[in-house]
Amino acid sequence: MSDWLTPGLAHLWLPYTQMQTAAPPLPVVASAGVRLRLADGRELIDGISSWWTACHGYSHPHIRAAIEAQLATLPHVMFAGLVHAPAARLAQRLAALLPGDLERVFFTESGSVAVEVALKMAIQYWRNKGQPEKQRIVYFRHAYHGDTFATMALCDPEEGMHTLFAGTMPDQIMAELPTDENLRRAFDLLLETQGGRLAAVIIEPLVQGAGGMQMHDAATLACVAAACARHGVLLIADEIMTGFGRTGRMFACEEAEVTPDIVCLSKALTGGTLPLAATVARRHVFEAFLSDDPAAALMHGPTYMANPLACAAANASLDLFASEPRLTQVAAIEAQLREQLAPCRDIPGVAAVRVKGAIGAVELGGPVDLGALRRRCIELGVWLRPFGNLLYLMPPFVIESGDLATLTAAVRQVLDERARQH
């Protein structure tokens, strides 16, 4: 281990980490199923699927074989003026899976960029239709849509992680989720009075992820969609975290029978193997870019756009959703999380317990020593990464009930110990 860890750490800059005071990261040497193997031989059950990506577990043989076969023929080629079978096949399959006429797929490499592209599409859509004044975006309290500058402007300015950059980002409009009748009227009034300058509303359907695993029902999502349609505002669904089964449906929008104008996908798209994202638009959005004027085209093109290896992995991931009982597994995970996290409500210092699909979140009150929680979880043989005032589980869908019970028991134990210390 010392031949790479210590020399390498002297040159690494880690994410979301104060490098002067943070504990050293854990050296991982292998992964399989739901387990991470460390350099010292210990194994940890991964309760968060590597930031919510490894839905099929690690090193699934079908995905690995697809990547190996693609590597032998076409690892990469530029996507400007050229096209290849893995991307064409994947775009066709995504269009068939998504609701309605979401049928035009623009590939990128990360969720943040997928959202950036969606914003570009929305704003240029209105420009191409002769309404350039429609360029503002509405987002919601507790939202998180990425770490790039345009996406930071759509994150909760008070509770998010980007307060340092306040005043340097585009000024967008934050609204409250319309979860009751008064908030519905307020949201409708916002779109009625501001609609002339609004390009789009963006929402994380059913679950707001990095903003605190806040959850809302299908009726709220349907209300947002109906208001957008009523007032001529595009709806962008950020399904980067919720997409591909995490909430119990293949896509969270399905629960509300909503077809957004634009949807953003990433994370579990390749089953947690390679970077890939997609921004998918409805037919009417795409058609607004068709013109004899070159300036009406969408001017965006990542260097590694539609990387064949990543597209091959994503196609293999979709094969597994078609051939293995992923949504049934999610339903079983949800039932077990509801049962085994429920006792946390009686632990002093716990403010709330929320479960949706394969997502279980325990919200804590008072100050939270995140480092201590993480270290204790590791001692108990599980990999969790609490943030803010939240300890949460988002395991791979293939996790067995015994391993999931180990995760939930660890959550209860660390919270019991925290309560006794306070």
Q: What pLDDT digit, counting tens, does each position of 94-125 carry?
A: 999 999 999 999 999 999 999 999 999 999 99
Per-residue pLDDT at 158: 76
Residue 210: its pLDDT value, please?
Answer: 94
**Residues 40-89: tens digit of each pLDDT:** 999 999 999 999 999 999 999 999 999 999 999 999 999 999 999 999 99
**Fold annotation for 62-323:** Aspartate Aminotransferase; domain 2 (3.40.640)
Domain locations along the chain:
5-56+325-421, 62-323
Strand partners, 265: 278
Residue 159: its pLDDT value, please? 66
Concatenating the DSSP letter of every residue in 282-351 gives EHHHHHTT-SS-GGGS-----TTTT-HHHHHHHHHHHHHHHHS-HHHHHHHHHHHHHHHHGGGGGSTTEE
Q: What is the spatial distance between Cα 254 and Cα 155, in angstroms, rounded to a whole number? A: 24
Alpha carbons 109 and 307: distance in angstroms, whole number: 8
Mark out the alpha helices in 74-217 (DSSP H runs): 85-97, 111-128, 149-152, 181-194
Instruction: Please give the positions annotated as active site.
Output: 16, 144, 238, 267
| Contact call for residues 278 and 106 (beta carbons, < 8 A) | yes
The answer to whether 143 and 204 are in contact (CB under 8 A) is yes
275 close to 288: Cβ distance less than 8 angstroms: no
Distance CA 242, CA 302 (A): 24
Question: Are 122 and 137 contacting, i.e. CB atoms less than 8 angstroms apart?
Answer: yes
Q: How far is CA 184 from the centre of its chain?
A: 26
Percent residues over pLDDT 90 in the chain:
94
Element (H, E) at 356: strand 350-356
Q: What is the mean pLDDT of residues 169-175?
A: 91
If we measure between CA atoms, which residue out of 215, 234, 216, 217 comes closest to residue 225? 234
Burial category of 126 from C-beta neighbours within 10 Å (exposed 0-12, middle 13-18, buried 19 and up): buried
Span 193-241, pLDDT tens digits: 999 999 999 999 999 999 999 999 999 999 999 999 999 999 999 999 9
Judged by DSSP in three states, 77 sits in coil
- Token pair 């049962």: residue: 339
Which residues fall within 8 angstroms of residue 261, CB to CB, at 6 or more apart?
Answer: 122, 200, 228, 234, 235, 236, 281, 282, 284, 285
Lowest mean pLDDT: which of 44-48, 169-173, 253-257, 279-283? 169-173
What is the rounded CA–CA span in Å between residue 170 and residue 154?
Answer: 9
Kindly report the average pLDDT of the chain as a whole number. 96
pLDDT in tens, 315-361: 999 999 999 999 999 999 999 999 999 999 999 999 999 999 999 99
Q: What is the CATH number of domain 5-56+325-421?
A: 3.90.1150.10
Tens-place pLDDT, residues 190-204: 999 999 999 999 999
Q: Determine the residue type at 81.
A: G
- Using an 8 Å Cβ cutoff, are 179 and 142 in contact? no
